[in-house]
Structure 1
Amino acid sequence: MTTVDTFTTGDVPALRRELLEWLRDGRGLRFHARMSTKAGTMMGRPELDGHPGMMRAWAEMLCEQEARTLANATLYFVTAEMTEIVRTAAADMPAFPPDADDFPMPAGMIVYETPLVEYERAELAAVMIDGRMAYDPTDGREEIGVTACTWGPFDMAGDWKHGGVWMSFYRNRAEILAKTIDDRTREGLRAEHARLVPDNEYGIQFAGTDDEAGKAKLQERLAETDQPGYTSFWAKHVLATLLLMQQPLVYERPEPIRRGLRRQLERAGYPTGDIRIVDARPRRYEPGEEGPSPEAEQAGADDVEDSGRKLSVRFPVRGFWRNQWYPSREVHRPKWIAPHWRGPEAAPIVHPERVRVLRHHPDQEAPHAQTHA
């Protein structure tokens, strides 16, 4: 993956504003109308794929949906260290059909400091500027880094009885600029797109709590598409992020928008809510800042076994997913048990080693030796 400048926490409100302006001034409609070649299939009329009227209708729906989502979105920023934890955790997390309670807010925009998902695809899907391909087509492949996502309520014009969610995925424009052919193409790309460029979307229908057959069918489809080329795989990584945010070893904290930017947003009529930072570490306090109380620090430092027995050594615990039952929602959800240290900080460290032994079971027939001439 080409190395490009990454986003910071302070970029997130401006990124939302840029996308809203991109949608409102017509650039978003032009882009989506060009890219919606499979709109007929999405509307249940595959024979109309590529039809200009269908492409425009689908593009209008996308723009309206995304404008609503962005206007009401709670903003999140995931640090690079936390993103790596999400990627590692999602690799072992089984795909599952989400429901509304799996999302902390009805609408959200989440930006990752480093790409959440990376993969390669045929370069035929590359961005076009003035009829020219934006990339050097010599290798026939393009590298994609999904670095942001939005989600919002969606019910397919009332066809989804229990509702659903629409997720839009974005890549960093700088990633595309790094591979552009010439200055003319590069300037055209800057003019035509915000710093976040839409790459693909994913809509998922919620199954009712009593629709076991519907859940099983959706679960089977998700398992079949659990690989990087599918947007359901990207959605699984976002869901892994949201599930990890509920874990006690993941730190979420608000950060207000800078005063100057807040005033600009207020004058332009854009939202000015705080940014939620998702990190693997607690906030670092600068000298003079007020941090947590000594009592809170001590409460977090105590480490006792479930049985109440005090630990006398310190050892690493590997991370794993547990299929946790939530009685209030009557659903099972993967719960990430993060890798962590157990035991007092001052205790001796031990590294348990596991040795797997392959042996012949006495109830099985012994394998026959084979002789080769």
Structure 2
Amino acid sequence: MSKHTPTTGQHSTPSFEAADVPALRRELLGWLGDGRGFRFHAVMSKCAGSMMGHPELDGHPGMMRAYAEMVCEQETRTLRDAELYYVTAEMTQLVRSAAAELPAFVPDAGDFPTPRGLIVFGAPLVTHRRPERGLVLVDGRLTLDYREHAYEDINVSACTWGPYDAGGQWKHGGVWMSFYRDRAEMLAKLQHDRVRDGLRADHARLVPDNEYGIKYLDEGAEKARLQEDLAAKDDPAWTSHWAKHLMATLLLMRQPLVYQRTEPIRRGLRRQLERSGLPTGDIRIVDARPRRYTTAPRDQEAGERPQSGDHGAEETGRKVRVRFPVDGFWRNQWYPSRGVHRPKWIEEHWRGPEDAPIVHPERVRVLRTHPDQQAIGDA
């Protein structure tokens, strides 16, 4: 687990779209395979000892190299077989709001839709402020790019997950999650062209920021202790909190308020991936609203149905001009088939027209006109 100072900065929006995800995977695999990934992780892994359960070896060159090798091998295995996901910006905002209410919990393998995945977000999933000057890796060395403030705001733009058992030490196995930021965001903050050019050459468009591994456990005292530890560190200073945001995304994907569809990889990129021996499966898109169709039903994707109807009118006749989820909350749901309790997001329905702006789970202040006066009420 790695600790940071919580963020109070503004959110910036990554520039990725669903069609970018396969190319992002290919670039990362190239970066991991040509030595740049190893050099990066070997230099940045000062806390490798703590991550591997030996804090006394933090900063030891041998431990840093061993950790870098492990991370590169882990991410290469994950990315090669990963299912590809893209979460729209509107859905990401809903995830952030829902994650704020989600209790920390110890996941198990059944909480992941696929064994390995790469998920890219249309808006920052997590934001944190790092209390240090912007250090970037150029030509295998840390380079200080002077700027006005002794901190930088980091936006997590993508995550991966894959099986991990700590070299056989975890009896029931576990999961390894990696968190990435957008290189373009880093480039925009740099002041020196030489550093900017070096960063662009030394990194793929997704730049690793941190990792988190957690083991699967049977019910019992050890799991209860880990649960308490996660609850105590449930703030942006800990990567376990970032992992909770990923888990909130995966939990919400199972809920009826979330719309999913697939998008094929572009033909030219598909051929490039085939030549590289990489998967060419469709991209899974997670959205907060249904797709709107302008074509005839025979042209629609298999399994999808157009959504119709304006649910924006209340029984009182007052027109709702925004779209929002009603009464969202987490419930500790029992799943008999798995024999576990898991947080389940309870959401009865959407309100508002399908094409209206989405308002996230917060109060909406509505101005109402009264015959005698104007009053402000809560919607």
- TM-score, normalization by structure 1: 0.83
Query: Does structure 1 conserve the Cα–Cα contact (< 8 Å) formed by 2:234 and 2:240?
Result: yes
1:323 shift after superposition = 1.2
Query: Does structure 2 conserve the Cα–Cα contact (< 8 Å) formed by 1:312 and 1:344?
Result: no
Equivalent residue for 1:126, pick from 135, 139, 146: 135
Write the mapping of 1:57-206 to structure 2, written as runs, cut at 5 A: 57-124=66-133, 126-130=135-139, 131=141, 133-206=143-216
**Residues of 1 paired with 2:275 and 2:185: CA distance?**
31
Write the mapping of 1:1-373 to structure 2, written as runs, cut at 5 A: 1=10, 3=12, 6-124=15-133, 126-130=135-139, 131=141, 133-208=143-218, 211-288=219-296, 290-291=299-300, 317-338=326-347, 340-341=349-350
Query: Does structure 1 conserve the Cα–Cα contact (< 8 Å) formed by 2:86 and 2:286?
Result: yes
Structure 2 letter corresponding to 1:194: A
Structure 1 letter corresponding to 2:153: E
1:127 shift after superposition = 2.0
Count of residues in Structure 1 that have an aligned counterpart in Structure 2: 335
1:292 shift after superposition = 8.5
**Residues of 1 paired with 2:183 and 2:257: CA distance?**
33
Distance 1:285 1:134, change over 3 A: farther
**Residues of 1 paired with 2:226 and 2:134: CA distance?**
28
Deviations 1:346-373 (CA, angstroms, capped at 9, x unpaired): xxxxxxx9xxxxxxxxxxxxxxxxxxxx
Distance 1:125 1:47, change over 3 A: farther
Distance 1:4 1:254, change over 3 A: closer
Query: Does structure 2 conserve the Cα–Cα contact (< 8 Å) formed by 1:126 and 1:135?
Result: yes
Query: Does structure 1 conserve the Cα–Cα contact (< 8 Å) formed by 2:265 and 2:282?
Result: yes
1:63 shift after superposition = 0.2
Deviations 1:61-83 (CA, angstroms, capped at 9, x unpaired): 00000000000100000000000
Percentage of matched positions with identical amino acids: 65
1:301 shift after superposition = 7.0
1:285 shift after superposition = 1.9
Deviations 1:168-225 (CA, angstroms, capped at 9, x unpaired): 00000011101112110000000000000000000001002xx321221111010011
SS where residue 266 of structure 1 aligns? helix
Structure 2 letter corresponding to 1:260: G
Distance 1:291 1:256, change over 3 A: closer
Query: Does structure 2 conserve the Cα–Cα contact (< 8 Å) formed by 1:135 and 1:179?
Result: no
- TM-score, normalization by structure 2: 0.82
Query: Does structure 1 conserve the Cα–Cα contact (< 8 Å) formed by 2:12 and 2:155?
Result: no
Query: Does structure 1 conserve the Cα–Cα contact (< 8 Å) formed by 2:91 and 2:287?
Result: yes
Q: Give unmatched runs, 5+ long, in structure 1.
A: 304-310, 346-352, 354-373
Query: Does structure 1 conserve the Cα–Cα contact (< 8 Å) formed by 2:134 and 2:151?
Result: no
32-41 vs 181-190, which moves further: 32-41
**Residues of 2 paired with 1:339 and 1:183: CA distance?**
52
**Residues of 2 paired with 1:133 and 1:264: CA distance?**
34
**Residues of 1 paired with 2:166 and 2:88: CA distance?**
33
**Residues of 1 paired with 2:57 and 2:190: CA distance?**
32
Distance 1:125 1:51, change over 3 A: farther
1:138 shift after superposition = 3.0
Distance 1:227 1:281, change over 3 A: same
1:273 shift after superposition = 1.1
**Residues of 1 paired with 2:347 and 2:163: CA distance?**
30
Distance 1:135 1:334, change over 3 A: farther
Query: Does structure 2 conserve the Cα–Cα contact (< 8 Å) formed by 1:39 and 1:55?
Result: yes
**Residues of 1 paired with 2:14 and 2:350: CA distance?**
33
Distance 1:84 1:326, change over 3 A: same
Distance 1:93 1:5, change over 3 A: closer
Structure possessing the higher radius of gyration over alpha carbons: 1
103-112 vs 318-327, which moves further: 318-327
Deviations 1:88-110 (CA, angstroms, capped at 9, x unpaired): 00001101000000000000000
Structure 2 letter corresponding to 1:266: E
Q: Give unmatched runs, 5+ long, in structure 2.
A: 1-9, 355-362, 364-379
SS where residue 10 of structure 1 aligns? helix
Distance 1:297 1:11, change over 3 A: closer
Distance 1:296 1:36, change over 3 A: closer
Query: Does structure 1 conserve the Cα–Cα contact (< 8 Å) formed by 2:133 and 2:144?
Result: no
Query: Does structure 2 conserve the Cα–Cα contact (< 8 Å) formed by 1:173 and 1:195?
Result: yes
